[in-house]
Amino acid sequence: MGLLLWFVQLGVYAQCITENNVFQGGEKVYYHAFYNWKFIWLNAGEVSFTVDETKWRGLPAYHFKSIGGTFRNYDRFYKVRDTFEVFVDRYNLKPFEYRQITNEGSFSANHHYVFNRENRTIRTSISREGKPFEREVIPWPECAFDLLSMIYQARNIDFSKYRSGDKIPIALVVDGEIHNLYIRYLGREVAKTRDGRSFSCLKFAPMLVKGTIFEAGEGMTVWVTDDKNRVPILVEAKILVGSVKAIFSHAEGLRHPMTAEITP
């Protein structure tokens, strides 16, 4: 999936947040997943994101975990059972160890990355379709992150520094390779959930790497609360067949009051 890209450039320009002011241990955020099928939006599944304070090899860490899956009555169309988890440094959010178990339709994969700070390398182990693990050691550029830790990095971006249309460079480890990507900031907008709630949001579009579901390019749009929490409220994405939405359901253990919700 792609080529190894421009390590020096990534180290200089990619976003690298050194302080977390947005979330805390104990945060749990839940979403409903919808799939567009023949102009009908189907409630297809659920997604959760959780943050726990823990230790990784004796070091203070956060454990980020995301679980997503389709409902059983939707599995006959396209079954999804995905788990993403990563241990990151509690003080600068840099990853220690990442695991990803993907089951999407007939495709399955298992990813495991260990990040070595001393020699700036990532040890990758990847198995696809039940085949033996392929192991490599690749360079780890400064400010390059896995998919899950990048989500929490992005929540800490100070969007007040950017104008609508600006690109914010990011570096991601995807499928065992480094990709030079970006987030395009799209300004402010009100986002609504299916239960009629409205939120003042910041809007942006991340550049995607082509995978088993998504096309490459700016095929995803994200709305996050325009408050201190930066909780994603709505995610819309084009996929290889149709489109999907993740819509905010509820949250627990937020670090700050959710002031972005617009009351009638």
Task: pLDDT tens for the chain, 264 residues: list them.
Answer: 222 222 223 333 345 766 899 999 999 999 999 987 666 778 889 999 999 999 999 999 999 999 999 999 888 878 899 999 999 999 989 999 999 999 988 889 999 999 999 999 999 999 999 899 999 999 999 889 999 999 999 999 998 899 999 999 989 998 999 998 889 999 999 999 988 999 999 999 988 765 544 454 457 899 999 999 999 999 988 765 567 899 999 999 999 999 999 988
* Long-range Cβ contacts of 67-74 (<8 Å, 24+ apart): 68/33, 69/45, 70/33, 70/44, 70/45, 71/43, 71/44, 71/45, 71/46, 74/35, 74/42, 74/44, 74/45
On the CB side of 117, CA atoms within 13 Å amount to 9
d(CA 260, CA 263): 9
d(CA 66, CA 29): 10
Greatest C-alpha distance within the chain = 56
Question: Among 219, 111, 122, 114, which residue's Cα sits nearest to residue 175?
Answer: 111
pLDDT score of 8: 27
Structure tokens at 111: 């990813």
The DSSP call for residue 8 is H
d(CA 9, CA 181): 11
Q: Identify residue 98 by its one-letter amino acid code.
A: Y
DSSP string, 78-147: --BEEEEEEEEETTT--EEEEEEEEEETTEEEEEEEEEETTTTEEEEEEEETTPPPEEEEEE--TTEE-H
d(CA 165, CA 185): 5
Burial 69-79 (b: 16+ CB within 10 A, else e): bbeeebeeebb
3-state secondary structure of 11: helix
Cβ-Cβ contacts under 8 Å for 55 (sequence gap 6 or more): 61
